[in-house]
Amino acid sequence: MKSTEKELLYTEKQRLIALFEKFDEIKEFEKAGQISELFLKVAEEEYAIAFCGHFSAGKSSLINALSNTGILPASPIPTSANIVKMKQGEPKAVVHLKNKEVVTFKHPYNVEEIKTLCKDAELVDAIELFYETKESTGANIAFYDTPGIDSTDPAHKKATENVIHLADVIFYVMDYNHILSETNIEFINSLNKKGKSIRLIINQIDKHQEKELSFNSFKENVFEAFKTFGISKEQIFFTSVRSPEIPFNDLSALVAYIKKIELNKDQLLLQETNRQLRYFVTEFVEQNEKNKLNLQAIEEKLSLLNNEKKNQQSLISDIEQYNKEKEETIRDQFVKIIESAQLMPYETREKAGLFIEAAKKDFKVGLFFSKQKTEQERTHRKNEFQEKLQESVDAHINWHAQNYINSLQKEFQIEFPQWETISLKDETLFSYVQSGLSSQGQGLINYCDSIAGEVKKKARQQMSDCISFAISLVKGENDKVSATHQDKEEKINKEIAALKKEKEEAVIWAEKKKELLSAATAEEPLFFAVKEYEQKFKSQYNEISVEEFKSKFGGITENKTLYAEQIVSDVQKKESKRYGTLQDETEKLYKTAALLKPLSGFSNIAYEMNQLADRLKKRSFSTVLFGAFSAGKSSFANALFGEAILPSSPNPTTAAINEIRKPDEEHEHGTVMIEMKSEQEVLNELNMILQSNHNDLSILQDISKEEYEGNKHIGAFIEGYQGSKGQLGTHIKADMSEIRNFAAVESKACFVKKITIYYSCPLTEKGLVLVDTPGANSIHSRHTEVAFEYMKQADIIIYLTYFNHAFSYADREFLIQLGRIKDTFASDKMFFAINASDLANSEEDKLDVVNHVKGNLQTFGIRNPRLFSVSSKNELSQPRHPESGFELFTKSLFHYVENDLEQAMIKSAEASQNHAKNVVHNMVSETEQRLQQEDEYLNTVQQRENSLLEYCTKNIFLAKKQFEQEQKELLFYVKQRVLIRYHDFYKETIHPAAVKSSKAELNACISELYAKLAHDLHQEFRACSLRLDKWIQRNLNDKEKNTIEKGEEFQVSLKLPAEDSSLYYTPSLSSKFNDSAGRNNKEWISYFKNAKQFFEQGGSNDLKNDLAKRVETEVEQWIASAEKALEQHYMSVIAKAEFHSREDFINQITGYFNELKKPGDLEARINELKNCLNKIQL
């Protein structure tokens, strides 16, 4: 290294130390740790090349080739489970353990032991391998081998992302068949955002088939795809370690490129260190400021909040004042009524005076009969006074009080206690008449005042109750409003307190930011003791000996699966009872139908038998091919048919559903029918991708392809719209030469719904209809949605995984859904194939992959899978190739068709035959009985018919309570499973590699978590619906069998009604789970302060536990809506299914008995039936 570069690198070390101190000071220990790792790399003047990519893309093999070693484990199953660094030097292996201990294996060491440690993610954190080479290539250049980013273990992706900050350049390795997978695109995009130097390696190009696509065209497609990421042609290498001699292999160019790096290493290291250091700080600042307000914004917000607080306080004060004033108004109004009441006007006083005179004991009227007349007069005067007084009380108190109460009722919109009319009893009027009371003058006035006082006293008591009631209403209503304002004030107080704290933090952050940026860009000389810090960073690990290591952790042996077995063909298994051939049974059906058709009463049976015979003759078995994108499904299908019918390419080709079936009368061999999507279907798809709500396809004319340069799918729609818009909603007849244009050219294929190919070969002649589905993890999201629709209806499911990429994340999600519904299958219709077995380096290699797949299948309850290792390439190059594996596969497939599917059809044919024979036989027997005793027989027949019809009506009825219980149990277990998976989803979405430094990252992760939950619940809902369909079918079938048995008791042969398949479909939900759930994440992102607090001090664990409670509540709400949708749907389904079954039986019963009761020549009828029966039995 030149002296100038050494000085500059020394400056970078000083900056790194300064940054370490700053990050350590502000307790960003994870960042400080990354800085210390970067410092050690710079201190050793090491240039780091990281190899990232899919598991089994060939990263380890490439590094082995580039370093001329074979140290790293290379296998088609996930191997490197942690970071492995390779570097030239004295041969040794340095193993960094999770517990911060380090053990060094000196040369010569057991390479197999080191390979085993490379796979141990629980014990080992990272491994450094030092190797010797005769060439100087790679001096002081370190190769980092990382785990696969798409492994089913999320820890692998995390480990990869954790080492990215050390990489000076990243070689992103993709295997030939998985270039445009969504995982690749997302990861490369994330590297771009981090400002990393990226080079792409398309590995394993020995898989390329020139006849399918020229390599130059393939390269151009790759260049075009990655141009949007700013990756030039010169930065993309096409390699094959396995076949170094093949054309277009850039392995030597890659070596030359790394040689060029070596020659310019010092300068490149300086540039990358400086860039990385600046980016490191800039990214940290930006991530932290994503969720922070600046001081000015905080001050403005505080001012607004203080004003709002004053406003709330003013509103609360106004409400209190209003309550007080309203109370006074109501009270004053009632008081006014009482105080202003003139209860004793002149006339009333006059009547009072007369009453006082009469009330005295010495009052007397007349001479004769005076006692009686006196009492009459006394009563008369009392009544007159009482009436006059009541008139005054009503006019001045009762009416006014009632009117005021009515006005209050209208104001408050609530019923008040009714005003009870105030009146005085006789004893009250008499009680105030004292001896010597004058009926005139002051005595009269005193008496009237006393009586008026009594009336007003009663009025006050009643008014007091009314006032209390009215005031309680005023306070009750306004207290709610006041409480709302108080809550707002309290919330504002909290926001103000939080903002004041944020203001303090903003002041501190501004200073930290200034110091961090200053440290990263410091031009002034710094004077840290570099050697001391180097020693400090190295001393974090405790060195232990190999002997201590082995004593602590035991011997190093790979926990290799030992249960692998040779795949056993179904043909070798014990076969079930064989019936006649399908062709024989079909001919018998036609023959019997022809014999029955002329007979009276048998036209329906003959028609149904002909219908069944037609179905058997035109039989088809839906064979659906599933698998991750580029698992080689199209090549596999071609190998099955023995000809390259479907286009295959390393790019996603199966954008539409491809169906291959036997030619028919309308479609000769080689005919291709293209079903184009309708305008509405295209519009729905565009709205889903764009998350928009357009009403027509003019959007494709209004936007340019450049606007969506990063979205190839939208670009394909724009590019192909003009050529396809006139064909939307139509069927196009084509030939096989045109398939590639419609299936593989995305600008055309995006408008295609389905491609049906009519092709004659042993498979299709057997009745198999092969359906080739889109990949489960293609870059095109619509590919992943169509495939599952076929799972439920398929007669045969073939799941294909790729040898070098066996059991990825997409495989796992598919098999979870398969596991949910496999119990509803009538038979084990699943076949599993590992494609591209020709890539195996040895039989042991092949067996490892078989064990790997078998072990994963068993975790999903698939205990004894039909599992085959096949090579489409070998089979296509040489039909019935001894090492292709297709002979064993097709034998097993044909065995299943013949011994399960065809036998099921044969059984249905034989059942139809037997039913017909029984009906004829019973008809003969019945007619003979009728011939002997007709009158008695006809009476008995009618009774039997009525009894059987009554039984049928009452028996064909499903227990609704049992169904509801079944539904509740299914949904209960849905909830349990989803809440268990919540913890898996949390681990997959919220981890240190995804949430590094900001709340925005956590918010995005929570949204992703909810998207996973929504998808899982949607899949569970569909599986639940299918299980309920099967419950209805199973229980209805039991009822139908009971009815058939009952018919036999009455000498009536009945058959099972044909199932109405249109009844059974998945009901729709009004909205998805994440349309309502997880909408507001503000509460949850507050759990994040910084990465250390979140992941090391319990923040993430607190979030997981607390969020689980909300998720549980939201899942319960979703379950409630799902239960309502299912209940509404299935009550209708049950009613229709019951009606369909009852009607079928009733028609069979009435038709049979009507024929028995029909008049005519009975002997001739018997002879005709016997003759027919004899012919049927021949």
Ranking 368-372, 723-727, 848-852 by mean pLDDT, the lowest is: 368-372
Q: What is the pLDDT of residue 562?
A: 36
Cα(719)–Cα(444) distance, integer angstroms: 110
788-792 average pLDDT score: 71
Mean pLDDT over the full length of the chain: 83
- Per CATH, which fold does 620-662+759-884 belong to? Rossmann fold (3.40.50)
pLDDT band for position 704 (50/70/90)?
A: low
Question: Nearest-CA neighbor of 1100 among 970, 983, 968, 1018?
Answer: 983
Using the 8-state DSSP alphabet, how is residue 863 labeled? -
Burial of 330 (0-12, 13-18, 19+ CB in 10 A): buried
> Is residue 1140's pLDDT more than 90?
yes
728 Cβ neighbours under 8 A, 6+ residues apart: 676, 677, 678, 679, 682, 751
> Is residue 582's pLDDT more than 60?
yes
> Is residue 564's pLDDT more than 50?
no
376-402 average pLDDT score: 88
0.85 cut: is pTM over it? no
Q: What is the pLDDT of residue 266?
A: 84
Domains of the chain by residue range: 46-258, 296-513, 620-662+759-884, 677-729+737-751, 959-1051+1059-1138
Q: What is the pLDDT of residue 1133?
A: 95
pLDDT band for position 607 (50/70/90)?
A: very high
Q: What is the pLDDT of residue 1054?
A: 93
381-398 average pLDDT score: 88
Same-fold call for 46-258 versus 620-662+759-884: yes
Q: What is the pLDDT of residue 780?
A: 40
- Per CATH, which fold does 46-258 belong to? Rossmann fold (3.40.50)
**Order of strands across the sheet with 47-53?**
236-238, 198-203, 169-175, 47-53, 141-145, 83-88, 124-131, 92-97, 101-106, 542-544
Cα(277)–Cα(45) distance, integer angstroms: 15
Q: What is the pLDDT of residue 557?
A: 56
Question: Nearest-CA neighbor of 467 among 337, 333, 339?
Answer: 333
593-605 average pLDDT score: 90
Number of alpha carbons in the 13 Å side-chain half-sphere of residue 723: 15
Q: List, for residues 767-777, the tens digit of each pLDDT value.
A: 899 988 765 54
Q: What is the pLDDT of residue 291?
A: 62
Q: Do the Cβ atoms of 447 and 335 come closer than 8 Å?
A: no
Burial of 1074 (0-12, 13-18, 19+ CB in 10 A): buried
CB atoms within 10 A of CB 827: 12
Q: What is the pLDDT of residue 573?
A: 45
Q: What is the pLDDT of residue 675?
A: 93
Cα(453)–Cα(410) distance, integer angstroms: 31
> Is residue 790's pLDDT more than 80?
no
Looking at the chain, the whole-number percentage of residues with pLDDT higher than 70 is: 89
CA geometry: angle 117, 120, 125, nearest 5 deg = 90
Evaluated on CA atoms 692, 695, 696, 701, the torsion sign reads negative
> Is residue 1142's pLDDT more than 90?
yes
936-956 average pLDDT score: 90
**Chain CA centroid to CA 108, Å:** 52
291-295 average pLDDT score: 72
Cα(834)–Cα(397) distance, integer angstroms: 98
Cα(11)–Cα(337) distance, integer angstroms: 95
Kind and range of the H or E element at 703? none
Question: Nearest-CA neighbor of 704 among 720, 723, 718, 691?
Answer: 718
Q: What is the pLDDT of residue 1038?
A: 93
Length of the chain (residues): 1178
824-844 average pLDDT score: 83
* More confidently predicted of 109 and 781: 109
pLDDT band for position 590 (50/70/90)?
A: very high
pLDDT band for position 1130 (50/70/90)?
A: very high
Using the 8-state DSSP alphabet, how is residue 420 labeled? P
216-222 average pLDDT score: 87
Ranking 191-195, 972-976, 1055-1059 by mean pLDDT, the lowest is: 191-195
407-434 average pLDDT score: 84
Using the 8-state DSSP alphabet, how is residue 531 labeled? H
Q: What is the pLDDT of residue 715?
A: 80
Q: Report the SS3 class of residue 265.
A: helix
Amino acid at 848: D
Question: Residue 1002 has which token pair?
Answer: 């956590």
Q: List, for residues 338-357, the tens digit of each pLDDT value.
A: 888 888 888 888 888 988 88
Ranking 173-182, 488-497, 1131-1140 by mean pLDDT, the lowest is: 173-182
> Is residue 477's pLDDT more than 70?
yes
Using the 8-state DSSP alphabet, how is residue 124 labeled? E
CA geometry: angle 736, 177, 246, nearest 5 deg = 95
